């Protein structure tokens, strides 16, 4: 005769079907492909993640372009509030993310918890930049003549983001938040082998008042997704954080075709305070002149 305890331990858990995040919706890959994602330490099967295709990448660019006008036109205060909301939503699910990060990266529960907490704090840090960066990097220029002259930073546009391969959540947030806080929209290619925290982050983004299309998340082979993104004529910039040196060089060459702004891969310490480099890499300076006269 079975006890209630035994009955509950026999309960089969409900597994999550991990999906892409494009235009505010959660589609499977149009290709119908998936690939096995395993625990970094035990090698145990974790999930079948979508193996996104070139077509998925192009669809994501369309969604990101569509979202750009509204997101870049939102007030800085509003964007800051939404980024802060992302931190709030993530905080509520920190146990889940810690578990996913531990499995994705093969690190201890404690370390994964620290990574998750740092990722939450990073959203808060960048949220605060939304209505400050303009004053820090822009300003009035004292031209030698009767003119009002003002330089203002503006978002570059659609940014392709190759997320870091090893730091599945903190690294991802560290490259994504600086792109979108200023009004850019993003197409993210997740870590190839550790995509699950990124795909779960999409669920957080979807419930944080972030307009659909501002962030689009694709899991799959980095090179397969990166090549069409680097060559895409309607992508304005690319962050190569997740590309190996050889691939990064190839992608930078392809990006020259429409003069994308390129952020090369570096040896970033994701735990350190980020500085303004990643944020200003995807800003344009606009200078407006007007005569002064009665």
Partner 1 sequence: MTERAMTEQPSQPSQPSKLFAYAPAPESRAVVDIAPSYGLFVDGEFREAAAGKVFKTLAPASEEVLSEVAYGDADDVDAAVRAARGAFGAWSALPGAERAKYLFRIARIIQERSRELAVLETLDNGKPIRETRDADLPLVAAHFFYYAGWADKLAYAGCGPEPRPLGVAAQVIPWNFPLLMLAWKVAPALATGNTVVLKPAETTPLSALFFADICRQAGLPKGVVNIVTGDGATGAALVAHPDVNKVAFTGSTVVGKEIARTVAGTDKRLTLELGGKGANIVFEDAPLDQAVEGIVGGIFFNQGQVCCAGSRLLVQESVQEEVLDALKRRLSTLRVGDPLDKNTDVGAINSAEQLARITELAEAGEAEGAQRWSPPCELPGEGYWFAPTVFTGVSQAHRIAREEIFGPVLSVLTFRTPDEAVAKANNTPYGLSAGIWTEKGSRILKLADQLRAGVVWANTFNKFDPTSPFGGYKESGYGREGGRHGLEAYLEHA
Contacting residues toward partner 1, per CB under 8 A: 136-137, 141-145, 147, 149, 151, 156, 236, 245, 248-250, 252-253, 255-259, 261-262, 275, 277, 284-291
Smallest gap from residue 249 Cβ to partner 1 (A): 3
**CA-wise closest residue to 210 among 58, 62, 52, 74:** 74
Residue 290 makes CB contacts below 8 A (sequence gap 6+) with: 147, 148, 149
In the bound state with partner 1, the residue whose beta carbon lies nearer, of 6 and 272, is 272
Mark residue 214 as left, alpha or beta (left: phi above 0; alpha: psi -120 to 50; beta: remaining): alpha
**For the residues of 116-151, what is the DSSP string, one character each?**
HHHHHHHHHHHHHHTTTHHHHH-EE---SSSEEEEE
In this structure, are strands 185-189 and 158-162 parallel, antiparallel, or unpaired? parallel
Choose between 30 and 131: whose C-beta lies nearer to partner 1: 131
For the bound state, the minimum distance from the C-beta of residue 66 to partner 1, rounded and expressed in Å, comes to: 16
Exposure b/e, 197-220, CB count within 10 A at least 16 = b = bbbbbbbbbbebebbbbbbbbbbb
Question: Do 283 and 182 form a contact (C-beta atoms < 8 A)?
Answer: yes
Alpha helices in the chain (DSSP H): 4-9, 54-73, 76-91, 94-105, 109-129, 133-137, 170-180, 196-206, 222-231, 245-255, 277-280
Q: Minimum CB separation from partner 1 for residue 277, in Å?
A: 5
Q: How far apart are CA 184 and CA 205, in angstroms?
A: 15
Task: State how far the Cα of 53 lies from the Cα of 51, in Å rounded to an integer.
Answer: 7
Using left for φ > 0, alpha for ψ between -120 and 50, and beta otherwise, residue 157 falls in: left
């Amino acid at each position: 005769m079975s006890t209630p305890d035994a009955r509950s331990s026999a309960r089969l858990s409900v597994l999550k079907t991990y999906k892409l995040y494009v235009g505010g919706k959660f589609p499977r890959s149009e290709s119908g492909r998936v690939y096995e994602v395993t625990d970094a330490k035990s090698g145990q099967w974790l999930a079948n993640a979508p193996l996104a295709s070139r077509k998925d990448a192009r669809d994501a660019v369309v969604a990101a372009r569509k979202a750009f006008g509204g997101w870049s036109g939102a007030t800085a205060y509003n964007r800051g509030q939404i980024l802060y909301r992302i931190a709030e939503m993530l905080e509520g699910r920190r146990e889940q993310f810690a578990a996913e990060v531990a499995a994705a990266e093969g690190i201890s529960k404690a370390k994964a918890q620290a990574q998750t907490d740092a990722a939450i704090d990073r959203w808060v840090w960048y949220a605060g930049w939304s209505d400050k960066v303009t004053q820090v990097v822009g300003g009035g220029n004292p031209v030698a003549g009767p003119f009002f002259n003002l330089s203002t930073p503006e978002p570059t546009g659609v940014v392709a983001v190759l997320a870091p391969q090893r730091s599945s959540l903190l690294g991802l947030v560290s490259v994504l938040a600086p792109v979108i806080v200023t009004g850019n929209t993003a197409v993210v290619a997740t870590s190839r082998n550790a995509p699950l925290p990124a795909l779960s982050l999409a669920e957080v983004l979807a419930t944080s008042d972030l307009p659909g299309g501002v962030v689009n998340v694709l899991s799959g082979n980095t090179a397969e997704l990166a090549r069409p993104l680097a060559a895409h004529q309607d992508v304005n910039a690319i962050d190569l954080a997740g590309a190996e040196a050889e691939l990064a060089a190839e992608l930078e060459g392809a990006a020259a075709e429409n003069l994308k702004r390129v952020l090369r891969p570096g040896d970033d310490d994701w735990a350190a305070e980020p500085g303004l480099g990643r944020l200003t890499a995807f800003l344009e300076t606009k200078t407006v002149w007007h005569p002064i006269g009665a």
